[in-house]
C-alpha cells in the first residue's frame, strides 16, 4: 500500500489545523490512506467534516495513546 504524507492528509481534509501529537497524526495518515484505498480521494474530501469531527473526538478522549 502506498504511503500518504501528512501534507496530503491536510489537502484531503482541507485544513492544517488537525489536533494530535506527532504519533497520533502518523496514525491519522494510516487511517486516511486506508480510506482512500477503499473509497478514493473524492470520498474523503466529501466526508472531511465528519472525519475531522470523529478525529477530534478520538484525540480528545485519548483513544490513540
Contact 27, 64 (CB under 8 A): yes
| pLDDT at res. 1 | 62
| pLDDT at res. 59 | 96
Q: What is the mean pLDDT of each run of 10 residues along the chain (65 residues)?
A: 90 98 96 97 98 97 82
| pLDDT at res. 57 | 96
| pLDDT at res. 64 | 76
Contact 32, 12 (CB under 8 A): yes
Amino acid at each position: 500500500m502506498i504511503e500518504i504524507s501528512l501534507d496530503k492528509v491536510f489537502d484531503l481534509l482541507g485544513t492544517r489545523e488537525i489536533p494530535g501529537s506527532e504519533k497520533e497524526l502518523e496514525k491519522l495518515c494510516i487511517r486516511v490512506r486506508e480510506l482512500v484505498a477503499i473509497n478514493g480521494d473524492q470520498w474523503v474530501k466529501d466526508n472531511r467534516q465528519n472525519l475531522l469531527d470523529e478525529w477530534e473526538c478520538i484525540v480528545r478522549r485519548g483513544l490513540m495513546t
